[in-house]
Amino acid sequence: MIATASAGAALVVVDATVVTLAAPGLVADLGIGGGGAQWVVEAYTVVFASLLLSAGRVGDRFGRRRALAAGALVLAGAGALAALAPGPAVLLLARALQGAGAALVFPATLSVLGATFRGPVRGTAFALWGATIAATAGVGGLLGGWLTTTLGWRAVFAASVPVGVAVALAAHLALPESRERTGSVDPVGALLSAAGVGAGVLALVQGPAWGWWAPGPAAPAGWPVSPVPLLVGTAVLCAAAFGVRQRRLGAAGAVPLLSGHLLRVRSFRAGTAAAAVVSFGEFGLMFVLPFWWQDVLGWTAAQASVLLVFPTVAALTGGLTTSLLVRRVGPRATVRAGLACEGAAAAGLALLVAGGAAPFALGGALLALYGLGLGLASAQLGSIVLADLTGDDVGAGSGAMTTAQQVGSAFGVAVLGAVTFSAPVLAHGVARALGLTATALVVALAVTWRLGAARGGRHRRARRPRGPGFRPQRTPLPDTGATV
């Protein structure tokens, strides 16, 4: 069961990262240009982030196993479409469909574990799930580079077909079905959340190219200002309208897409914020460091890729050892230790870059420390976020956390990229970006210091909204007999 959920999450992460090194082949074969190649990556990200909240609720209502299997089949079918794409339009459509499939899969992998396991076994389940994600985040780029070099860029997309089918089949055979019998998917709320999150992520992703106010070099022709402010305004208005609608649904006794009471659950609030900061640092760090390695130090891509092995192996190690730490000190202290390792590593890298030194061993050691912290924190954040959630809130909480991670990663690339390239000297910009990453991780550590998750799996239940016609529901857990 844990292996199936972890494999589904790994498929989503790899599909998000595997395309980056295939971009030059896309440009040469399809003639789409650098901007079009960038959209091949971003179409997945924007659709994925925009559908996460509603997809999490779909899993709650119609079955988490069913959502995971359906999403995996969508990923497989879209991968086949992308591999056979005759031109840019079909390829972009396929990537958008992959993003939709990923939105069904990822929150379902998290919520099916949260709905099935309790006690110490739950910590082990999330440890293995988080370790898989942390490890595959670094593997995707390497896999994409190898497939592109040996078989061509179409093989990058074709590889997801058998994996997606296998995950769907394994989900059908190995996972118990769990769903909530009450409530429904709010279509208006789903539309508002998709539009708001999609517009916000698109603004962050395209801000450097389109310009934050004045039109940038890649902005649409004829616009007096950049489209980014319009996107930001759309995101803010949709978020406000979404909040109003969710409050009204809760007051009427209906089940909203994202209950307002979730934000009053300290473990959910702090855990989601920490997850966003971890993604901010992870994706921002991996975005700016290659510029230091290749443009400042003059390393080749092959030399730089060797350093990525250190955080990948360390992240896997950290994730696999979290179950032992959780049994001794609990998930709260495990996440704190991970954030402390990440912050110390980012600060050390900032000092290393600022000093102009480039010792390979020290850089590898710091990246390994960062990967270790990433594995420790990522593996248990899901457990903390879902610790006090029950029933209808499990899938919504999973989707909210994953949405926060996607927004955090977009912020990381946009903000740290802007800090890096605004400096007159590139090395100074990289050092400042690393210092900002360390600061953000320290803030996340402070936020998680008073997490409400208790040791031993004993958690307080979140308060449910009261209203006319509201009836509290108990969620029957499936008798799976599952073991780790």
Cβ-based neighbour number of residue 29 at 10 Å? 12
Confidence at residue 473, expressed as pLDDT on a 0 to 100 scale: 43
User: With contact defined as beta carbons under 8 Å apart, do 275 and 388 qualify?
Assistant: no
Q: Which of 91-100, 342-351, 423-432, 464-473 has the lowest mean pLDDT?
A: 464-473
pLDDT of the residue at 20: 67
| pLDDT band of 406, cuts 50, 70, 90 | confident
Length of the chain: 484
Which pLDDT score, from 0 to 100, does residue 23 have? 67
Please name which of 448, 421, 433 lies closest in space to residue 281, comparing C-alpha atoms.
433
Alpha-helical (H) ranges within 84-159 are: 88-116, 120-150, 153-158
Model pLDDT for residues 134-165, shown as the tens digit of each residue: 777 667 767 877 787 788 889 989 999 999 99
Residue 4, CA atoms < 13 Å, CB-side half-sphere: 22
**pLDDT at residue 471, rounded to an integer:** 46
The Cα 452–Cα 384 span in angstroms is 9
At what angle are helices 88-116 and 393-422 packed, to 10 degrees? 130
- Report the percentage of the chain scoring pLDDT > 70: 86
The reported pLDDT for the residue numbered 223 is: 86
pLDDT in tens, 4-36: 988 999 899 888 878 766 766 777 788 776 556
**What pLDDT digit, counting tens, does each position of 58-90 carry?**
888 888 899 999 999 999 999 999 999 998 889
Query: Quick one: 264-457 is in which CATH superfamily?
Result: MFS general substrate transporter like domains (1.20.1250.20)
Across 290-350, where does the E strand assignment appear? none
- Does 332 or 82 have the greater pLDDT score? 82
Per-residue tokens: 223:
């616009």
Q: Is 175 within 8 Å of 90 (Cβ atoms)?
A: no
What pLDDT band is residue 296 in, cutting at 50, 70 and 90? confident
Query: Does residue 184 surpass a pLDDT of 70?
Result: no
What pLDDT is stored for residue 476 in this prediction? 42
Q: Where are the alpha helices (DSSP H) in 211-308?
A: 228-251, 266-291, 301-307
The average pLDDT across 371-387 equals 83
Q: State residue 38's pLDDT score.
A: 66
Which range (124-128, 314-318, 455-459) has the least confidence? 455-459
Cα separation, 44 vs 22, whole angstroms: 15
| Residue 479 pLDDT | 39
Q: Taking residues 85-109, what's their average pLDDT? A: 92
What pLDDT, on the 0 to 100 scale, is given for residue 477? 39
By the 8 A CB rule, do 190 and 403 touch? Answer: no
Q: Helix, strand, coil: what percent of the chain each, to 5?
A: 80, 0, 20
Question: Between the CA of residue 433 and those of 209, 371, 415, 430, what are the distances in Å?
Answer: 19, 18, 8, 5
| Residue in 187, 208, 202 with CA at minimum distance from that of residue 96 | 202
In the numeric block, which tokens belong to residue 55? Answer: 């997809």
* Confidence (pLDDT) at 230: 94
Choice among 99-103, 116-120, 415-419, 478-482 with the minimum mean pLDDT = 478-482
Residue 328 pLDDT: 86
What mean pLDDT do residues 192-216 have? 86
Contact status, residue 83 vs residue 158, Cβ threshold 8 Å = yes
pLDDT of residue 241: 95
How many H helices and E strands in the chain?
16, 0
| Average pLDDT, integer, range 230-245 | 93
Tell me the average pLDDT of the chain.
81
- Whether 1-175 shares its CATH topology with 264-457 is answered yes
> What is the CA 143 to chain-centroid distance, rounded?
19
**Banded model confidence at residue 37, pLDDT cuts 50, 70, 90:** low
Give CA 84 to chain center in angstroms: 27
Query: What is residue 384's three-state secondary structure?
Result: helix
Over 90: is that where the pLDDT of 124 sits?
A: no
Query: What does pTM read for this prediction?
Result: 0.73
Please report the pLDDT score of residue 239 as a whole number.
92
Q: Which amino acid is at 425?
A: V
Q: Where are the domains of the chain?
A: 1-175, 186-256, 264-457
More confident call, 111 vs 94:
94
Mean predicted confidence (pLDDT) in 184-188: 80
Q: Is the pLDDT of residue 111 over 70?
A: yes
User: CA 383 → CA 39, 227, 373, distances in Å?
Assistant: 33, 38, 16
User: Where does the pLDDT of residue 270 fall: very low under 50, low under 70, confident under 90, or very high at 90 and above?
Assistant: confident
Could you tell me where the DSSP H helices lie in 355-425?
Answer: 360-386, 393-422
pLDDT > 70? residue 450: no
Q: Give the pLDDT of residue 79.
A: 95
Comparing 173-187, 322-336, 368-382, the range with the smallest average pLDDT is 173-187
CATH code, 1-175: 1.20.1250.20
